[in-house]
Amino acid sequence: MFKKIPKNKQLLLFDGVCNFCNSSVLKVIKHDTNNVFLFASLQSEIGQQVVNHFSIDTTKVDSIILVSSDNEFHIKSTAGLKVISQFGGLWKLLLIFWIVPTPVRDAVYNYIAKNRYKWFGKKESCMIPSPEIKAKFIDN
């Protein structure tokens, strides 16, 4: 069983070797003005515990998983939109995509996820957070 997520926090699991995922996490950190999110890579021990706890098939979901403190999880485009819903400003305009049916949103998401290494590259190992953002990462 994985660590309890603190109340009013959400854990964002991401592909730690994906350049696109890493830059997206840095963008989330920058726009997380309410300090809602904690982070861990899917490859980390906590990431694997969460995947096992929810019996998530990582051959089908291998880029982002969002877990709330009340033990709900969201994947793919729904996870992305839930993250964006915590941002202010013009980011809120992207929430118009809630009207697109989930299978259509996820088809676009899957296409990007499938090509992310080819388009954006990948690292040899997971991101090591800087001292300034280390507190936002759970490393079990």
User: Tens of pLDDT along 23-64?
Assistant: 899 899 999 989 999 999 888 888 899 889 888 888 888 789
- Joined tokens for residue 10: 């959400």
Query: Among 59-63, 81-85, 90-94, which is the least confidently predicted range?
Result: 59-63
Residue 2 lies in a domain: no
The CA distance from 15 to 127, in Å, is 10
User: Any idea of the CA torsion for 123, 128, 133, 138, to the nearest 10 degrees?
Assistant: 100
Residue 108 lies in a domain: yes
Task: Report how many domains make up the chain.
Answer: 1
Instruction: Tell me, rounded to whole angstroms, the distance of Cα 104 from its chain centroid.
Output: 19
Q: Whole-model pTM?
A: 0.86
The CA distance from 32 to 25, in Å, is 10
Residue 19 lies in a domain: yes
| Total Cβ atoms within 10 A of residue 55 | 6
Residue 42 lies in a domain: yes
Residue 130 pLDDT level (bands cut at 50, 70, 90)? confident
Q: Which amino acid makes up residue 51?
A: V
Residue 124 lies in a domain: yes
Of 113, 140, 21, whose CA–CA distance to 58 is shortest? 113
Residue 138 lies in a domain: no
Residue 101 has pLDDT above 90, yes or no: yes
**Domain assignment of residue 60, given as a range:** 10-133
Query: Among 5-9, 24-28, 63-67, 113-117, which is the least confidently predicted range?
Result: 5-9
| Total Cβ atoms within 10 A of residue 96 | 9
Residue 98 has pLDDT above 90, yes or no: yes
